[in-house]
Amino acid sequence: MSSIMRPSKSLTAIYLYRNPIDFRKSHQGLAAIGELELGHNPYEGYLYAFTNKRRNKIKCLFWESNGFVLYYKSLAEEKFKWPKQSETLITLTGEQINWLLDGYDINKMVPHKKLHYESCF
């Protein structure tokens, strides 16, 4: 698996926001969730991961010294296996967020099937 444009496995502050969000939100709307709902300072270098209601998309938000980085992944088929815990916010490791982005159910370590396409049309 290529690690191009992926969250670093060495990140120590990764927060998975469990509730689905409106994916029309930009980096400003996501940072506002971090600040207003979670009581965090989004400029401290935490990575936040969000999903949509269908759980087929992920947005990750990260402050990188002079601006926000927004990572977006949309699955062609299947859904992300969002952890089922009662807390609104779940803390992950850098390795776990990458497993989640690879399609793994991080509780069971079962991956998505790999897809191979020849054309967008």
Q: What is the mean pLDDT of residues 27-52?
A: 94
Number of domains forming the structure of the chain: 1
What would the pLDDT profile of 3-19 be if each residue is shown by its tens digit?
A: 677 787 778 789 999 88
Q: Is residue 22 part of a domain?
A: yes
pLDDT band at 1, cuts 50/70/90?
very low
Q: Is residue 113 part of a domain?
A: no
φ/ψ region of 117 (left if φ > 0, alpha if ψ in -120 to 50, else beta) reads beta
The token pair that represents 92 in the structure block: 């992950």
How many Cβ atoms are within 10 Å of 102's Cβ, its own excluded? 14
What would the pLDDT profile of 60-70 be if each residue is shown by its tens digit?
A: 999 988 999 99
Q: Is residue 41 part of a domain?
A: yes
Give the residue numbers spanning the domain of 21: 14-101
pTM of structure = 0.81
φ/ψ region of 55 (left if φ > 0, alpha if ψ in -120 to 50, else beta) reads left
